[in-house]
Amino acid sequence: MPVPNPSPPSTPTPPTTGGPPAGAGPLPLDLPPLELPPLELPPLDEVLAALHVVRLPLTVRFRGVTEREAVILTGPREHAEFSPFLEYDDAEAAAWLRCALEAGWHGFPAPRRAEIPVNATVPAVAPDAVASVLARYGSAGPHTVKVKVAERGQTLHDDVARLAEVRRLAPSAALRVDANGGWGHREALSALEALAGFGLQYAEQPVPGVEPLAELRAELVRRGLPVPIAADEAVRKETDPLAVARLGAADVIVIKAQPLGGVRAALAIVAASGLPAVVSSALDTSVGTRAGAALAAALPELPYACGLGTVALFGEDVAEDRYMPRNGALDLRRVAADPELLERHRAAAERRAWWVGRVRRCYEQLVNSPSPAVQADAPK
Ligand SMILES: [Mg+2]
């Protein structure tokens, strides 16, 4: 099928010298070492006394599971969530606990805005399923749509057809694509060449890793292809959260409160990177999503809609008044876990014991190295 081209953002200019144009290319940055704000830990006994373990059904299969386990802490300041994925080791999960302890015992930093714009997400579905996905976002339609691409077993033709249908149904929405690192360098170039005509806001993690992202971005600049690059997995899976900025690998970073060690740590990472940030969830319950909203609310600039509309992926939740966007935005309000729902979705005793063990070990990691993200960072 032809590539629909409603309003090409610009005509690609052919390369002239073979190198990135001076001043416009993704040049490596010389950034100062990252310093994260310290966190005073509450006593472990207090943490364990505030701990609830829940098991919640999802409406879709995600990372191979249809249920999500989470620890909810009823802290003195806020209710907080600790929900690293089950396969993560303690060193990685400790950053998630740091986020929960910060929220629960220290609260959130002062917000700069009262509403967080949130994007719609279209999974890698067939074109005829796009309308029903977009219909969930209300009659006015979403203002920003993220479209999943590069799905295993699909082709570029499928991606183009899906984008075309989204563009047809949401003619004025900002569009972005997320490949989750599913393309190789050449594939990404031909895909972004084909998709650029949709006027993409940005392409999220077209290739895996930081260096491949930097190479791709340099090549896009060389070819004059007007597709900004966002780094997602490359930010939180790297031991150095600033590697993306150092290598000039992206125009935008996607950040999550739990994997980056909390709201204040994530704010420090954004400030040090000098890049615009989009806040996303880690498939959190309403309680964890509130921490993401706190991060988005505290950022000095929030130029893009955030990926915080994921509570709808849960069939059940821990909050009575679920924390979901209305008219494309989350309002900044208090989110509390409901005691009756914590009880109703309580995990089995052996799962609770497993999570208590995990909290104890991660807490120990935090005592020994209070800033997990920075400890792994060690920029030279
Ligand atoms: Mg992503």
For residue range 190-219, list pLDDT tens digits in order: 999 999 999 999 999 999 999 999 999 999
Element (H or E) spanning 58, and its range?
Answer: strand 51-62
Q: How far is CA 17 from the centre of its chain?
A: 37
Q: What is the pLDDT of residue 369?
A: 82
Asked if 237 is an active-site residue, the reply is no
Measured between alpha carbons, how far is 39 from 319 in angstroms, rounded to an integer?
Answer: 27
Measured between alpha carbons, how far is 311 from 256 in angstroms, rounded to an integer?
Answer: 15
**Catalytic choice (146, 148, 237, 380):** 148
**Is 57 within 8 Å of 314 (Cβ atoms)?**
yes
208 Cα to the center of ligand 1, angstroms: 11
Measured between alpha carbons, how far is 33 from 163 in angstroms, rounded to an integer?
Answer: 40
308 Cα to the center of ligand 1, angstroms: 12
Q: What's the whole-number average pLDDT of the chain?
A: 89
**Catalytic choice (146, 237, 256, 380):** 256
- The pLDDT-based confidence of 376 (bands split at 50, 70, 90) is very low
Q: Report the share of the chain in percent with pLDDT over 90.
A: 78
Radius of gyration from C-alpha coordinates of the chain: 21
For tokens 């806001």, the residue is 201
Higher pLDDT, 18 or 53: 53
Asked if 380 is an active-site residue, the reply is no
In this predicted structure, the answer to whether residue 234 has a pLDDT above a threshold of 50 is yes
Q: What is the pLDDT of residue 235?
A: 87
- The pLDDT-based confidence of 32 (bands split at 50, 70, 90) is low
231 Cα to the center of ligand 1, angstroms: 8
Q: Which long-range contacts (CB under 8 A, 24 or more apart) does 325-330 make?
A: 325/118, 327/138, 327/140, 328/117, 328/118, 328/120, 328/137, 328/138, 328/140, 328/142, 328/143, 328/144, 329/115, 329/116, 329/117, 329/118, 330/115, 330/116, 330/118, 330/289, 330/293
Measured between alpha carbons, how far is 320 from 331 in angstroms, rounded to an integer?
Answer: 16
233 Cα to the center of ligand 1, angstroms: 7
Q: Which amino acid is at 358?
A: R
74 Cα to the center of ligand 1, angstroms: 29
pLDDT in tens, 103-139: 999 999 999 999 999 999 999 999 999 999 898 887 7
pTM of the model: 0.88
pLDDT in tens, 310-354: 998 899 999 999 999 998 999 999 999 999 999 999 999 999 999
Measured between alpha carbons, how far is 59 from 77 in angstroms, rounded to an integer?
Answer: 31
